């Protein structure tokens, strides 16, 4: 029991670390660590019918029905990771971006292979190939889309919470990146720093609404159209590889809530062109080592992860 709780906590920390990086999804980590189906099912069980179960059988029955221990331990791991690793990962993004992006690049490639292996036989049919292509196209379109400039009104804050949380549980798509595209990343961060509890509460309500709604839809899709849904999710992962390509040239910048200049629109370059255009070493050797480390990490997680079935 204790071993399982520690394992779940560590998986939550890994999810939190991934969610800190724009372009990497905690849902990816949930899938490769074997808890994705369990997470979706636990969230899906949070419905108004819990009040009836509470009246009839008590709070203990409700807790067991939603797998409350699993959800709380996982959430504790996510929050711990965000609180403890956010500054370190942000520092890496600023001072050592190439090895960090390379690590996640290798991780995403291995994750896509891992997900494709879960496809039932025959793995590659016309339908699954089309679903995968749609996933790649959708993810690529998101990564190259021009950011919107929405006003932080009650409606946009609510919708941003609902959309971003859906992205966070989708393998391959980052919720923080969705907030950037919606133009709501800075307003939400500013609300956190300025303790604007009304705005944050509205965002949280939107997130809860989106999470409960989308988890039902995704669970239904996995039950009814498992192969097509899995192929689409695999495509989502592959489609985001351009976003996390290590060698980037920043074209435009944005100011974050701390007044710092951070990249907004970037162009992907080959290592040689990166050195010529940006004027910094491409660190190819270090990048390759980091990619291999990310790839091997997924193989290790895959070996010790329980089945998704």
When pLDDT is averaged across residues 180-209 and rounded to a whole number, the result is 80
Query: 233-258: b or e for each residue (b if 16 or more CB lie within 10 Å)?
Result: bbbbbbbbbebbbbbbeeeeeeeeee
pTM, rounded to two decimals:
0.76
26-81: pLDDT as tens digits: 787 888 787 888 888 888 888 888 888 888 888 888 899 988 899 999 989 888 88
State the DSSP string of 16-77: HHHHHSTT--HHHHHHHTT-HHHHHHHHHT-STHHHHHHHHH-HHHHHHHTTHHHHHHHHHH
pLDDT for 178 equals 77
- Confidence band of 184 (pLDDT split at 50, 70, 90): confident
Q: Give 202-260 pLDDT, tens digit per residue.
A: 988 998 888 888 888 888 888 899 899 989 988 988 888 888 889 988 776 666 545 55
Domain limits, the chain: 2-304
Residue 202 to residue 213: CA distance in whole angstroms: 17
Polymer length of the chain:
309
Is there a contact between 70 and 8 (Cβ–Cβ < 8 Å)?
yes
């Amino acid at each position: 029991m204790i071993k399982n709780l520690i394992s779940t906590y560590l998986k939550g920390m890994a999810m939190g670390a991934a969610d800190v990086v724009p372009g990497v999804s905690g849902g990816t980590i949930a899938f490769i660590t074997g808890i994705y189906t369990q997470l979706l099912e636990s969230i899906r069980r949070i419905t108004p019918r819990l009040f009836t179960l509470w009246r009839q059988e008590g709070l203990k029955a409700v807790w067991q029905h939603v797998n409350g221990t699993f959800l709380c331990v996982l959430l504790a791991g996510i929050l711990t990771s965000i609180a403890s690793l956010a500054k370190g990962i942000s520092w890496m993004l600023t001072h050592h971006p190439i090895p960090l992006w390379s690590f996640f690049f290798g991780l995403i490639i291995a994750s896509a292979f891992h997900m494709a292996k879960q496809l039932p036989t025959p793995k590659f049919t016309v339908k699954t190939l089309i679903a995968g292509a749609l996933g790649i196209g959708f993810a690529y379109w998101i990564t190259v889309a021009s950011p919107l400039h929405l006003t932080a009104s009650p409606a946009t804050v609510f919708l941003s919470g609902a959309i971003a949380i859906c992205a966070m549980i989708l393998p391959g798509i980052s919720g923080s990146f969705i907030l950037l595209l919606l133009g709501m990343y800075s307003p939400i961060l500013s609300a956190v720093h300025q303790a604007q509890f009304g705005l944050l509460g509205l965002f949280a309500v939107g997130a809860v609404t989106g999470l409960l709604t989308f988890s039902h839809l995704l669970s239904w899709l996995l039950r009814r159209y498992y192969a097509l849904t899995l192929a689409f999710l695999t495509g989502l992962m592959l489609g985001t590889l351009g976003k996390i390509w290590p060698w980037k040239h920043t074209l435009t910048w944005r100011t974050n809530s701390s007044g710092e200049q951070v990249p907004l629109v970037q162009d992907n370059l080959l290592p040689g062109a990166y050195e010529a255009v940006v004027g910094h070493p491409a660190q190819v050797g270090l990048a390759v080592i980091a990619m291999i480390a990310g790839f091997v990490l997924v193989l290790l997680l895959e070996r010790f992860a329980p089945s998704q079935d």
